[in-house]
Amino acid sequence: MPQRVRWIFRRTLVTLTVLVAACVGGFLVLVLGGGPAWHLRVYQQQIDAGTRAIAAAPTDSGRAAGYVQRGRGYAEIARYRHVMRSVGAAEYVRLYQSAMHDLDAAVRLDPDNVETLNARGLTYFEHNWTAVENKFESGDAVEILLVQAKADFAAVIDRDARNWTALDYRGMTNEKLGDYEAAIDDYTRVSQVDPKLGQLRLADLYCRRGGMWAKDKQYDKAVADLELSISLEANADACECDPYSPLLWTYFEGLGDLDKSWALVQRAQGSRRWLMPELLEKLRAASPQIAR
């Protein structure tokens, strides 16, 4: 299928217990098996198992693991019901309060455990995503969630400098906070651990930042970022920003450079990359003598 230009943050929400992704207003949770009742039952079983683990654990680290399991269960229910549009404000807040109560307890019991810190940071990050979409909470509260997520991921990195999960999520958190240089640094470090993931993240960041520069009519910066995104040769999918169309818009509509516009069209066609048909039609109409 053709790939539309996507000006959104990818929502690759990898949890410590299950992998469920939401993207471009859609979701994969149903594809992974079962319907809403099945997923809610699985998460409730996770909560119940965490409660039993807390009661049975003979050590602080064991109890912390139980709290993580139960806390993530509450968070998964909150996020899943948000995706399914089946949660009201009061229940949504209650679920996240329960999740954070447990995750805070886990960190107190096992403060140096990177998985515990990652779990709490992930929950802050996911809570921010759902809060932005459902508007149950104030803008200030939403931003604080990102600051808290970043602090947890930073604490993990202090303990394990090559922890790719924390580096990746801190990068995404920095992006959401608008600190692109810090995000680039994090993704560059991700590349040292997982070259493919780091390359994908950097390509996506440069693409979306380039689109922002183009929107602000800072065309030279837009070209630099979008060309860099293309040079990274990451495989774009429907959840990522594709740089070809915004770069064509920048060359054609922004800079009025027909030669570079057509050169980019040839590059896109050679790489079998999609370009916005409406933009191509305008380009052909503006330069019928060289349309191809």
Cβ atoms 246, 208 nearer than 8 A:
no
Among 138, 169, 137, CA closest to 152: 169
Question: What is the C-alpha R_g of the chain?
Answer: 22
Q: Is residue 165 part of a domain?
A: no
φ, ψ for residue 104, nearest 5 deg: -65, -40
Q: Is residue 267 part of a domain?
A: no
Cβ atoms 213, 221 nearer than 8 A:
yes
Q: What is the pLDDT of residue 158?
A: 97
Q: What is the pLDDT of residue 288?
A: 75
- From CA 240, how far away is CA 207, in angstroms rounded? 9
Q: What is the pLDDT of residue 89?
A: 86
| Bridge partners of residue 27, in order along the sequence | 22
pTM of the model: 0.82
Cβ atoms 155, 111 nearer than 8 A:
no
Q: Is residue 67 part of a domain?
A: yes
Give the HSE-up count for residue 123: Cα atoms under 13 Å, Cβ half-sphere: 29
pLDDT tens for 217-268 read: 999 999 999 999 999 987 656 567 899 999 999 999 999 999 999 999 999 9
Q: What is the pLDDT of residue 289?
A: 66
Q: Is residue 193 part of a domain?
A: no
Q: What is the pLDDT of residue 239?
A: 67
- From CA 239, how far away is CA 284, in angstroms rounded? 29
Among 46, 68, 61, CA closest to 119: 68
Q: Is residue 238 part of a domain?
A: no
Q: Is residue 29 part of a domain?
A: yes
Q: Is residue 117 part of a domain?
A: yes
Place of tokens 């990050």: 125
Q: What is the pLDDT of residue 164?
A: 93
DSSP the chain: -------S-----B-SS-B--EETTEESTTTTSS-HHHHHHHHHHHHHHHHHHHHH-SSHHHHHHHHHHHHHHHHHHHHHHHHTT---HHHHHHHHHHHHHHHHHHHHHSTT-HHHHHHHHHHHHHHHHHHHHH--S-HHHHHHHHHHHHHHHHHHHHH-TT-HHHHHHHHHHHHHTT-HHHHHHHHHHHHHH-HHHHHHHHHHHHHHHHHHHHHTT-HHHHHHHHHHHHHTT----TTS--SHHHHHHIIIIIT--HHHHHHHHHHHHHTT----HHHHHHHHHH-TTT--
What residues of the chain score a pLDDT lower than 70?
Answer: 1-35, 235-239, 289-292
Among 41, 110, 101, 115, CA closest to 71: 101
- From CA 77, how far away is CA 89, in angstroms rounded? 14
Q: Is residue 199 part of a domain?
A: no
Total tally of structural domains belonging to the chain? 1
Contact partners, residue 196, CB within 8 Å, separation at least 6: none
CATH at residue 16: 1.25.40
155: containing domain: 1-160
Q: Which amino acid is at 141?
A: A
